[in-house]
Amino acid sequence: MKTDRKGRSKGVGSFTLLTHHLQDSLAWRTLSPQGRAVYLEVARLYNGHNNGFLGLGVRRAAALANVNKDTAGRCFKDLLGRGLIAVGTPSSFATNNRLACEWRLTAFKCDRTHQPATREFQSWKPETANPSPSISDRPSPRFGQTPPVRLVTVPRFRTVGAA
């Protein structure tokens, strides 16, 4: 490996930074593998000076992450909902100019607006679509009363005659 006169390595190449506070967040831990792959492709574009200008379309992200374009679109929505990325500039399909959406990683400061990192993913909590009441939430029967009986219907199967 080559080094300069101060002992620093040269020509090592670039890398993608995944900080511990990002990896330890609930938003990252519950993210699908496809969502992680799309996030890595967006983060791969970040060079330390262009956050907010990370242009990546759904089809290009799908090709890079090796997923279907519909899956990549769902991954972008999921990443937005979890606060891992934010929109820098929305996409545009004006007269013959197809411009992809430009993204901003919320883990790093924005180079477009010069605002500090928002880290919205740290406050993300999963939505419970159909919350089921816990046992402690159900009313208990009074002493001496029998608890209500729930009827369970069992499907009937017809017997088929032997051939």
Within a domain: 50: yes
Among residues 27, 37, 28, the alpha carbon closest in space to that of 68 is found at 37
Q: Are 46 and 15 contacting, i.e. CB atoms less than 8 angstroms apart? A: no
What pLDDT shows up at residue 34?
A: 97
Q: Which two tokens stand for residue 148?
A: 């209500």
Within a domain: 46: yes
What pLDDT shows up at residue 137?
A: 58
State percent of the chain over pLDDT 90. Answer: 56
Within a domain: 37: yes
Within a domain: 112: yes
pLDDT in tens, 83-101: 999 998 888 777 667 788 8
Phi, psi for residue 70 in degrees, rounded to 5 = -70, -40
Look up the domain containing 71 and give its range: 32-123
The structural domain count of the chain equals 1
Within a domain: 1: no
Within a domain: 150: no
Strand partners, 105: 85
Q: Which two tokens stand for residue 105?
A: 């990683």
State percent of the chain over pLDDT 70. Answer: 75
CATH value at residue 115? 1.10.10.10
What pLDDT shows up at residue 83?
A: 96
Within a domain: 47: yes
Among residues 112, 110, 87, 81, the alpha carbon closest in space to that of 99 is found at 87
Mean pLDDT of 53-58: 93
Within a domain: 91: yes
DSSP string covering the chain: --B-TTS-B-S--------HHHHTSHHHHTS-HHHHHHHHHHHHT--SS-TT-EE--HHHHHHHHTS-HHHHHHHHHHHHHHTSEEEEE--B--TT--BPPEEEETTS--TTT-PPP--GGGG-----SSPPPPGGGSPPPPTTPPPPPPP------PPPPP-
